Structure 1
């Protein structure tokens, strides 16, 4: 029942970040000096995963290059005696066993996961979406794995989502077992807020029993004319209990422009080499905003006698 394999789908087109993603995978967008996908892989490794399969598309070659050896760069760093950078580069290519399977056309998250069925080989596995960075001392995926080991059932990560974003998530109906754990009663893909069963949404972390693959195979095209993982989860829930786990940690949806910028700022503020300068910049911007606000108030408070 150990969970040692993970599927990371990265075949999406990244249209929310066009034109940058016309030639660059959204998962390779940097958070300062490390791409988003690096943080996702680090979470998988910290959760005990030692075998990762990326589901890629034809425009995702740079992800493969990133996790591969780079002899030319390594030789250059050796000649420059840049030992610290050399170690960083070498560590990236030896992080974990990584395999690549290409999704021939974008047919949805469910279809992407299904392409890994032969690699999964009837074992439980984790799914980590490449858009989400989740920061916590105990990785989110590890939290799900621990729940899986306790109950032996598929577990999906959930959190409260704002009403205006409900239509972007799979929204659950669940029965609370405690403050952080629900038994899943239903899950609806991207409902209108007024039709949603709750404000608790599934985010990009899952641990599945292998039976989910049979359910994906039986799933018809759904929302967006794609094979929706949410629909397969509903089928699986008819056969075996599924748990929804309210994880601990701070999540950044880096597929959203505002959340992406927030991630960069927060990570910069945690970087001891950058923290002081970034804090000073933020303070100066705030002072500028306050000065403008006061200036605007003064203009609006002129005596009526001099207003023509």
Structure 2
């Protein structure tokens, strides 16, 4: 997923040509990308040069990808990925379409939302698509180094750093929608309540908190997970090697355990629990913290 030695000479030659002969530089970068579809150096250069063969020319979004993005590497090394960059960009598009379905079921069309916080936004896999739907209305937060600067520079969003301690987060304001895709799925259950309270506190009156958990049926019947009497299990591993595994691993829980955690933290029940709403097996849960 990085610059392969076999292409390093071509990449270097293209760099040297950028200022004096951008067309030839673009041709060289495209030649590398055709043979090495996951080469971010080549793809980002095409974006920077506004080359007509760049992804953003037809996707109509910002297609710059930060090379530190663990999710890009995770998608690109998956068994079904043959074009890592295109697959990564398409995955964000998929999240947008899945979220729009969830929002419609809440009778709150995404295009009419006044303010939206994407929490745990990473390096913009989804953000780049969201800002096209909600220009000037999106905020992002994450802990990954450099991610918030990248989000501000590339996507023009309000961006602030999160923390491993939810009580330490300073939310600039409250938002009509707070969306947290696949974070509880990685956090130990002992901290779930603290995070749910923090997110709920960032929701504006009348707004909604949407987050995801692993679908119990998929865990049991497709992945073969066997729960003990606690209905919960934590594995110290994830797709993000940049984060400490005991803080950010893989968190598995039955639906009854999830519901109990919500009631304990927020004293309420979901207004929507949509099974397998995201990806292959992530349930979407929506809460109205203020009734």
If the TM-score is normalised by the length of the shorter chain, which range does it land in?
0.3 to 0.5
Q: Kindly indicate which of the two structures has a greater share of residues assigned to strand.
A: 1
The one of the two structures with greater contact order (alpha-carbon pairs below 8 A, sep at least 6) is 1
TM-score (norm 2): 0.32
Higher radius of gyration, 1 or 2: 1
